[in-house]
Structure 1
Amino acid sequence: MALPRLREELDLIPGPSLPDGQPSWTLHDPVRNQFFRIDWPTLHIMQRWSMDDPKQIAADISAKTTLALTADDVLEVVQFLIQHHLVRGSGPDGPRKMAEQLARLQGTPLKWLLHHYLFFRVPLIKPDAWLSRWLPLARWFGSSGFAWLTALAMLAGFTQVLRRWDVFTASLVDTFNLEGLMAYGVALFCVKLLHELGHAFTAKHYGCRVPAMGVAFLVMWPVAYTDTNETWRLTNRFDRLRVASAGIATELVVAVWATLAWALLPEGGLKSAAFVLSTTSWVATLAINASPFMRFDGYFILMDALDMPNLHGRSFALARWKLREWLFGLGDAPPEHFGPSAARALIAFACATWLYRLVLFLGIAVLVYVFFFKVLGLLLFAVEIAWFILWPIRSELRVWQQLWPRIRMQRRTIHSVLILLLLILLLALPWPGRITASAVLRPVDAWPIHAPVGARVEALHWAHGALAPAGSPLVTLQVPDLVGRENVLSVRLDQQRQQAAIAGFDEEMRKRLRVAEQTLATTQAEWKGTQAERSQFQPRAPYAGHFFMSDPDLAAGQWVSKKEQLGVLVKQGTTWRVETWLEEDDAGRVQVGQRASFWVDSATGKMLQLKVAAIDQDAARTLPRRELASVLGGHVITREKNGVLMPERAVYRVTLELQNMPEDMQDLSWRGNLMIHADLASPIARYLRQIMVVLVRETGF
């Protein structure tokens, strides 16, 4: 068969040695500015391309070199060159075939639009000449002297931040406003510009041409980019590694000097700008650029450090091969041969990348839906899910379809199908439901005791858990101001009584008798008021019950604050009940009369057997039992507003009655764990129902 003609403008550049020691070469396509690494056998095949016969080429290589090739090896190279458009169209139908290849590459107009909505580049400048002029100055920033200065600046800056950590964190909180967000946007733009200049100057330092710099839009989000593809001309992988890491290094240098500037500058606009610049650089570098799971700097750094071009594609291919072997046991050779540890690492990296991208793309889809009006938001959400998640799955399923004649003949396929059916069955079948939640055990008849104002405990009349008779005092509080006012009124009352008693013996005093009697009556009323007020500081039991102190360590002589709960009087013989608040899905699985168990947080004491007594039909607007909030160790997610805890999701109160009342109530904790034996439920039904609820709510059907 006649071989297609190679394109004349292709360049062949010496490349680095491969991990197995053989030399490599880099094939450069100057039209698209793309680079392809080829190995030693491929080079010999391309050197004999003019022979125009795969068998003759393979025979000549086998005879004149230590390689043993066949015609199939030559045809694989031919397929590679055709696939990557490195050959010319030949014959009368050559232009037509090239046009068909271009059409397949571009796809339909809809596919072109979707691809350019998801990602497209806008080159803005051709910086190569400008970079050449400023390269001597940029080299100084890459010198060892500047590196030592930066290290000293980092040490000084971090020392100041640690010493003034409270000021630093307070500054971070103060910037969370509209003006602060605008400042962060400007700082992010400046940092990213310096980031790209770091890549460009480093590439220029190693003799590479930088043809373009501009802005790339990833799902309409602008990201600066620099075309450094010519770094593939570099034969030393450590030089490529320096170019790839130059952007992150530049941002870290900016962060170090900005941190030092924040520590040294006086209060004002420059100090605020340094703070914004430093925090933006640290966060943007560590959270975004250092990730190897997307095609950001971290990926290229890892790729050059391992000297493994196209790391994502190669690890994905290996992971897909391993998945087919796990599922079907086809016995195919792997796409590449690696050592056992390297193969496991690449497969783990591919799985981690898939999981990371799944979470990331789902988040992007939700953001796209939120930031556009509903109809367009739903459309773009569907595009994100289809393009980033469903399309790769579809591609793998098409491979399975092509391999189906072999797959269906494998014994492991039957095992995989049976395991899949078993998992589906386990997820679909209803299982006995057990709902666990935090709950509160409390008596039905209980009288809380609070301090009306800040006061001192004068006496505690009953021990914790003791039975107090009806009418007996429980606690005696003393308020010095009230005692002083009562003493003053007592002295004044005695004086006024004496004056009223001797009024009949003096003519002048008889004239003022009426006024003295009125004054005496007023003083008596005030004194009685203080007596009534004082009775509030000696609460008495309205009924016989057990007295439980809120703080068992409370003792006479201690001070308590206003409205502080001192204890609870539980009526003797009262019934006890358990209360909890469940989310809508869980509450829907609970029925009145179902059994439940309750045990205290400390896991001590007897497990109580309960029965569901009531389920509220309306969702609770607030959470009256603060101890059930997640911030205090409970299970209900809440937010606090004006001192009131409000559930983040709809929750319903469930009340349960005790079936076995313990004799000794003193050892019971008020908060514990509850387990309700609920209705049978399918594990997957809850999620399907939630998806349908969201779809119905968002579409308005």
Structure 2
Amino acid sequence: MTAASAMDAARPQLRGDIVLGPAVRSGAALVHNVKDPAAAKYYQIGPREYFIMTRLDGRTPLKRIGLEYAEEFDRRLGEEQWRQILTSLAGRRLLTGSGEVAAPGEAGPAPASAPDRRTLLNARVTLFDPQRFFGRILPFLRFLFSAYFVVPALLAVTALQVLVAVKAGTLAGEARQLWEAPAAGLAVMLILWLSVAVHEAAHGLTATRFGGASTEIGILWRFPVLAPYCRVNDVLLFRRRWHRVCTAFAGLFASLLLMLPAAPLWMLAPEGSALRHAAAALLLFGSLSAVANLIPFLQLDGYFMLNHALGMQNLRLESYRFIRLALLHARQRDAGTAQRLKTYPRRVKLIYSLYGLGSIVFGAVLACWFAYWLLTLTLSFF
């Protein structure tokens, strides 16, 4: 048997624990996220690599995969190209029989999400891996994911937000009175901080419910905020967009649910009491936090919900890149930028344009408001 025929007859197999994610849009291209659980790494591959990897089942010969590839992409893979592909996969320890998997700290291809760099203004400290904990409590909390709970809960938190909107002036006036009760004010701050912990845990629990994993829980320092966080990179691997959107929404939903007891507490507490003022502050600041989380131009839950709903990744960054490219083309009118713009589908061009312009306008309005507030505050001292 010649080397070429031996290559055609080969039946390589992808490791059974490798997880291949669905196609998502990143810039003009489609990409797939890949998880190697044993090495605790994530990769990004293109549609061609994904096409090949999904067919490496240990039963299908390379010759047949090559014919299917040529039919799909109108291009044949030669012996040398197959050798390079298989060498690359074996080098990453993604094939069965390619040796021990790499340890998490060993060098390898760039992961889908770059590791965090600690600075004085931005840092993360990992506390523990929560997956075992989530796996243990999930059987007791499955009712939280049923329509019998979710629908009434959504109606309740919606009604609560309507109440807060109607009574916003009253709530703001009573919340200010917490300056006269520092102990109650500290209690409110502690409850709000703990609600963030529940918020983050809800992301992880929902990811576990949909078959994913949460790799770490820790403390995030993003000046001037110190808050808990839960990393759920597996959301990028969920086949259903609905599951990705729900995982992103779960934290906000949990925060809103925690606010529900504050409403009857505020209504029943005696007027002028510290308890009523504390309940007012919880309702007001909890609602403001919920609104902020839903703004898609901030990189919070609303932003990731929009990414997942549109089947995209890095929407903000890619929108800015597209707008810069469009402006460059408008100024230079060269063939290179024109060709790059043609690689973007029409729908993607529209989404990037609308989001990018909306983000710029939002940032400008926010900067103007902050400048006006700072000027007003400065003038008040004179």
Asked if these proteins are the same fold (TM beyond 0.5), I'd say: yes
Within 1, Cα distance between the matches of 2:229 and 2:50? Answer: 33
Output one character per residue of 1:554-591: Cα deviation in whole Å (capped at 9) or x when no partner: xxxxxxxxxxxxxxxxxxxxxxxxxxxxxxxxxxxxxx
The alpha carbon displacement at 1:35 in A equals: 4.6
CA distance in structure 2 between the partners assigned to 1:227 and 1:336 by the alignment: 36
The 1:68/1:258 distance shift into structure 2, 3 A limit, reads same
1:338 shift after superposition: 3.9
Aligned AA for 2:322? L
Structure 1 or 2: more strand by fraction: 1
Q: Which whole-Å deviations, capped at 9, do the CAs of 1:322-376 have from their partners, x for residues lacking one?
A: 1221221122222673443541330342344456568889999x9xxxxxxxxxx
- Whether 2:186 is the aligned partner of 1:182: answer yes
Q: Does 2:283 correspond to 1:278?
A: yes
Structure 2 CA distance, aligned partners of 1:314 and 1:638? 36
Count of matched residue positions in the alignment of Structure 1 and Structure 2? 337
Structure 1 position 215 matched with structure 2 position 219: yes
Q: Is the 8 A contact 1:10 1:27 kept in 2?
A: no
1:123 aligns with 2:133: no
Choose the corresponding residue for 1:133, options 111, 136, 157.
136
Do structure 1's residue 205 and structure 2's residue 209 form an aligned pair? yes
Contact 2:168 2:284 in 1 (8 A): no
1:12/1:28 contact within 8 Å kept: yes
**1:344 lines up with 2:350 in the alignment:** yes
* TM-score under structure 1 length normalisation: 0.40
CA contact (8 A) 1:318 1:336 kept: no
Instruction: Write the deviation string for residues 46-92 of structure 1: whole angstroms up to 9, x where unpaired.
Output: 5899xxxxxx99x94588523213789x99xx89x99xx9689xxxx
Residue from 43, 62, 75 that aligns with 1:69: 75
Alignment of 1:22-171 (within 5 A): 26-30=33-37, 31-36=39-44, 38-39=46-47, 41-44=48-51, 60=66, 64-69=70-75, 116-150=119-153, 153-154=156-157, 167-171=170-174
For 1:155 and 1:321, locate their aligned partners in 2 and report how far apart those are by CA, in whole Å. Answer: 41
> Quick one: which amino acid aligns to residue 50 of structure 2?
L
Q: List runs of 5+ in structure 2 lacking aligned partners.
A: 1-11, 57-61, 95-105
Once residues 35 and 107 of structure 2 are traced to their aligned partners in structure 1, the CA distance between those partners, rounded to angstroms, is 22
Q: Tell me if the contact between 1:12 and 1:25 (Cα under 8 Å) persists in the aligned partners.
A: no
TM-score, with structure 2 as normaliser: 0.68
**CA, structure 1 residues 256+316, in 2 after alignment: closer, same or farther (shift >3 Å)?**
same
Evaluate the alpha carbon distance shift between residue 63 and residue 265 of structure 1 in structure 2; reply closer, same or farther with a 3 A threshold.
closer
SS of 1:225 mapped into structure 2: strand
The 2-side partners of 1:213 and 1:238 are apart by 24
Paired residues for 1:670-681 under 5 Å: none
Q: Secondary structure at the match of 2:190?
A: helix
Contact residue 26 and residue 232 of structure 1 kept, 8 A: yes
Q: State the Cα deviation string for residues 522-551 of structure 1 (Å, max 9, x = none).
A: xxxxxxxxxxxxxxxxxxxxxxxxxxxxxx
SS at structure 1 position matched to 2:198: helix
Secondary structure of 2:335 counterpart: coil
- Residues 145 and 265 (structure 1), Cα distance of their counterparts in 2 relative to 1, 3 Å cut: farther
User: Where does residue 175 of structure 2 map in the other structure?
Assistant: 172
1:318 aligns with 2:322: yes
Per-residue CA shift, 1:212-242, capped at 9, x if unaligned? 1111222353232111112233211111111
- 1:184-213 CA deviation, whole Å, 9 max, x = no partner? 421320220121121122112112222211
The separation in 2 between residues aligned to 1:163 and 1:285, in whole angstroms, is 16
Q: Distance in 2 between matches of 1:10 and 1:152?
A: 42
Query: Of the candidates 302, 315, 322, which is equivalent to residue 298 of structure 1?
Result: 302
Contact 2:322 2:352 in 1 (8 A): yes
SS at match of 1:27: strand
Aligned mates of 2:342, 2:188 — CA distance in 1:
45
Max Rg structure: 1
Q: What pairs up with 1:686-701 in 2 under 5 angstroms?
A: none
Residues 336 and 217 from structure 1, CA distance in 2 versus in 1: closer, same or farther, beyond 3 angstroms? farther
Cα separation, 1, equivalents of 2:53 and 2:146: 42
Alpha-carbon offset, residue 245 of structure 1: 0.7
Deviation at 1:252, TM superposition (A): 2.0
1:329 is aligned to 333
Question: Aligned Cα RMSD in Å?
Answer: 5.0
Match of 1:260 in 2: 264
Mark the CA change 1:258 to 1:147 in structure 2 (over 3 Å): closer, same or farther.
farther
Give 2:59's aligned residue: none
- The one-letter amino acid of 2:290's match is T
Matched residue SS, 1:121: strand
**What one-letter code is carried by the residue in structure 2 that aligns with 1:172?**
A
| Pair 1:101–1:235, CA change in 2 (3 A) | closer
TM-superposed CA distance for 1:303, in Å, is: 0.6
Question: How many angstroms does 1:164 deviate by?
Answer: 6.5
Separation in 1, partners of 2:170, 2:42: 50
Identity of aligned residues (%): 21
CA distance in 2, matches of 1:143, 1:188: 27
**Cα deviations across residues 98-130 of structure 1 (Å, max 9, x unaligned)?**
98999xxx9xxxxx9x85334221111222222
Shift of 1:10: 9.7
In structure 2, C-alpha distance between the alignment counterparts of 1:190 and 1:142, rounded to whole Å: 22
- Is the CA contact (8 Å cut-off) linking 1:11 and 1:27 kept in structure 2? no
Q: How far apart are residue 299 of structure 1 and its match? A: 1.6
Conserved in 1, the CA contact under 8 Å of 2:262 and 2:282?
A: yes
